[in-house]
Structure 1
């Protein structure tokens, strides 16, 4: 019985490795999934060993950078060549704006050329040998700074930036030209305002027209304490630029008692207590229209800027930074209210040139 028991105990060990050391090594490899496998052996690229292939890659990179420059120049030229209203047929999109299509195509070439050139340069001509370094503290010491500077210089040397002048010069040309696309886009936001912000449709001799009746306003049409609106003579609601003109020329006309007017200039620019001010709020351009008869205050409904029309329309409350511009008015030979000039200062939201 003892022999049989001994045989049964020893039988399961017949298939174990011959040595305990071998068993331990096998277990260590099998149970260490996070072990560092190391870098594979470095394989040289064709460009590393064949200067002819390297020159070919250099020409490809230079060609991509040159393509980017041509794309930028084409982008700028598109603004000159194609009018806004020209349409062309492009399969499969159908009829599209020639200007938009050319802008998108040329800008894509400019950006893709730079990106593809940089990627091809890095993959074929720059050093591709992987290096490892131990994690270090965030604060670099003098030795580390010197090491990084040396590595930077070595990287520049290996990239061929100084030696491969064709790649360098075409890359610099592409990077220099592509920002011009942004300049052209910003220029296309609209025509330059020039001095248009400083002038409106008002001029000497132009009658104040009631926009509801399209007839000239007369002093007797405006009782004391009332507010009405006016627009310059000659504006046509059917014209293409009517909205642009009325946005600057909209006028509110109020009749006060002459003795209630505190500002001497306002009094001299009025007619029998009738004063005219821009309807456009000097904060963000909302239409001012809420009039308090007893206080002579007018309120902007957007942000509650309040102006005193008996004191030169100065700001007494709210975010507006400037008083409402006053229009100098009088009466012509026909008894109609007319402007004596344009507004003295720009209307609407103030800009820095306005005093």
Structure 2
């Protein structure tokens, strides 16, 4: 018994472990990967690789895609100029849609699609499709590896036939050079050029203050102490096409404060019997100011909490607004109605580059 035990102890530990492959066919050699490397399938030439006429056909197809892209970009710009923004057309099955939006989307989509389709067709039919297996290397490349990468790059550039297929190269460059013009044209939709449009409103000397709710001209007695009223210029029709554009600049806020409580002398001089008229457009991002505190004479913008003191020239007390609300000088005409004595002394709403 002792001799058998000693013999068993001399067996290496790994020999004592059960073999998982026993009874399952041929055993695997120790230290070898049990999964064989399948390798790469043999390369098969495409018709373009052996027939130059087929390669030329593919070249012309790719060039056609890029040329259509260039024409679509030109069509995008032409559509932007040709179609008015309010033109509506019927397109089945979409129904009634804007002719401008439809044409812009169609032409820009076609331009981008043709660039992608041309690139894909080029890669599938003309560029080299030989698969190469390469061992992984450390992150820090050795000089030999860097040299190999550059050589591979040069080889890839050569196999892409960019230098040889000049028609493909030139039309691709043309398509890629023209398509960014679509974005340049879209910059025009950021709004009208400032010039004088942002500096002036519809208010002018003699324009009556019309109540936004009743559509009637306002008298001083219509503005009660501690209340807030809103007005628009006489002649601005709420149903007109340019109403939203004009009221966004001309919207007026009226408040009545005891003359003795008005701190700013100019505000007092521009008021009538304590009735003050200020722009309703917040000087931060243009939200309508409308929350009034009667006891403090403060008005609050609900968007970002900019607070203005109406008793002190509508100066900014709190929040991100950059300057006070512009005041409109008012008086009363011979019929007893409130009227403007001119336009706002400064541009209304948020700051802009040319504000000065």
TM over 0.5: yes
Verify: 1:276 aligned to 2:270, yes or no.
no
Verify: 1:326 aligned to 2:311, yes or no.
no
Q: CA offset at residue 314 of structure 1? A: 0.7
Which of 82, 87, 90 pairs up with 2:89?
Answer: 87
Counting matched residue pairs gives: 330
- Counterparts in 2 of 1:139 and 1:195: CA distance versus 1, 3 Å: farther
Q: CA offset at residue 163 of structure 1? A: 2.2
Specify the SS of the correspondent of 1:307.
strand
**Structure 1: tracts of 5 or more residues without a match:** 1-23
> Quick one: distance in 2 between partners of 1:118 and 1:226?
67
Q: Deviations over 1:174-208 (max 9, x none)?
A: 11112223334454576666543332221111122
Structure-to-structure mapping, 1:141-220, within 5 angstroms: 141-187=142-188, 195-220=196-221
- Counterparts in 2 of 1:135 and 1:348: CA distance versus 1, 3 Å: same
- Counterparts in 2 of 1:342 and 1:85: CA distance versus 1, 3 Å: same
Q: Deviations over 1:60-102 (max 9, x none)?
A: 2212211221222223333345555353565x66776655554
98-107 or 158-167, larger mean C-alpha shift: 98-107
Do the aligned residues in 1 keep the contact of 2:67 with 2:171 (CA within 8 Å)? Answer: yes
Q: Deviations over 1:326-346 (max 9, x none)?
A: 112233344432212211223
Aligned counterpart, 1:6: none
Specify the SS of the correspondent of 2:131.
coil
> Quick one: distance in 2 between partners of 1:298 and 1:306?
6
Do the aligned residues in 1 keep the contact of 2:28 with 2:34 (CA within 8 Å)? Answer: no
Aligned counterpart, 1:62: 63
Q: CA offset at residue 313 of structure 1? A: 0.6
Aligned counterpart, 2:39: 38
> Quick one: distance in 1 between partners of 2:185 and 2:69?
16
Verify: 1:240 aligned to 2:228, yes or no.
no
Specify the SS of the correspondent of 1:204.
coil
* TM-score, L = length of structure 1: 0.80
Specify the SS of the correspondent of 2:312.
coil
328-337 or 191-200, larger mean C-alpha shift: 191-200
Structure-to-structure mapping, 1:280-291, within 5 angstroms: 280-291=281-292
**Structure 2: tracts of 5 or more residues without a match:** 1-23
Specify the SS of the correspondent of 1:87.
strand
Q: CA offset at residue 351 of structure 1? A: 3.4
* TM-score, L = length of structure 2: 0.80
Specify the SS of the correspondent of 1:228.
strand
- Counterparts in 2 of 1:181 and 1:268: CA distance versus 1, 3 Å: same
- Counterparts in 2 of 1:33 and 1:170: CA distance versus 1, 3 Å: farther
Q: CA offset at residue 316 of structure 1? A: 0.9
Specify the SS of the correspondent of 1:230.
strand
> Quick one: distance in 1 between partners of 2:91 and 2:213?
47
Aligned counterpart, 2:19: none
Verify: 1:251 aligned to 2:249, yes or no.
no
Q: CA offset at residue 36 of structure 1? A: 0.9
